[in-house]
Structure 1
Amino acid sequence: MIFADDEPKKARPHAIGQDVSLLSEDELAERVEILRGEIARLEAEMKERGSTKAAAEALFRRG
C-alpha cells in the first residue's frame, strides 16, 4: 500500500516575493524561464482582449 507521504513532493510553483536565497543558480534560471513564459501568456491575453474590445466598440459605433 502506498501512502501519500511516500509520494515524491512536487516542486512548488514560483510565488511573487518568495524567499529565493536557498535556490541554486539552475533553479533560479528555471524560475526566470517560467516567469518569462507567464509574462508572454499574460501579454497575449491582454492583446486579445484589446482586439475584442476594439471590435466591439467598432460594432456599436456603426449603430
Structure 2
Amino acid sequence: MDVDENLPRRPGDALADLARQDLDPLSVDELNARIAALEGEIARTRARIEYAVNHRASAEALFRR
C-alpha cells in the first residue's frame, strides 16, 4: 500500500503536498514546530466536527417535534 493512496487526488491539495514534503532537511526544532502546527490544525478540525455534529442534532431535535 502506497502512503499517498489514502490522500485526496485533487491538484493543489495542501494535505497531499504536506505529506510529500521531504523532512530530512528540517532540524529537530523545525520538526517540533511542524508537529505543534499540525496538532493545532487537528484540534481545530475536531472542534469543527463537534460543532457540525451538535448543530445537526439540534436541527433534528427541532424538526422532530
TM over 0.5: yes
Structure with max Cα Rg: 1
**What count of residue pairs does the alignment treat as equivalent?**
49
| RMSD of Structure 2 on Structure 1 (CA) | 1.4
Query: 4+ runs of 1 displaced by more than 4 Å?
Result: none
In the alignment, the residues of structure 2 paired with residue 46 and residue 37 of structure 1 have an alpha-carbon distance, to the nearest angstrom, of 14
The runs of 5 or more residues in structure 1 that have no matched partner are 1-13
Q: Secondary structure at 1:53's aligned position in 2?
A: helix
When normalised by structure 2's length, the TM-score is 0.70
Greater percentage in helix: 2
| AA at the equivalent of 2:25 | L
Identity of paired residues, percent? 47
TM-score calculated relative to the size of structure 1: 0.72
